[in-house]
Amino acid sequence: MKKKTLSQRIEEYLAKRNCFVNGGELERLALNAGYKASNASRQARQLAEDGLIERDTNRDKKHTVWYKTLKPMKKVAYRDVETGEIIATSYERAN
Domain with 21 in it: what CATH number?
1.10.10
Which residue range(s) make up the domain with 82? Answer: 6-93
pLDDT at 1 over 60: no
In this prediction the pTM is 0.71
Residue 67 lies in a domain: yes
Whether 62 is in a domain gets the answer yes
What's residue 3's pLDDT? 81
pLDDT tens digits for range 38-92: 999 999 999 999 888 999 888 777 778 899 988 666 778 888 888 989 888 777 7
| pLDDT of res. 87 | 84
Q: Please tell me the predicted confidence (pLDDT) of residue 30.
A: 94
Domain annotation covers residue 1: no
Q: What is the dihedral of CA 68, 70, 71, 77, to 10 degrees?
A: -20
Of residues 94 and 47, more confidently modeled: 47
Give the pLDDT score at 28: 95
Domains in the chain, number: 1
List the alpha helices (DSSP H) in the chain.
6-17, 23-32, 37-49
On the question of pLDDT at 93 being above 70, the answer is: no
Asked, for residue 81, whether it belongs to a domain, the answer is yes
Find, among 53, 66, 56, 77, the residue nearest to 25 by Cα: 66
In a domain, 36, yes or no: yes
Specify whether the CB–CB gap between 19 and 72 falls below 8 A: no
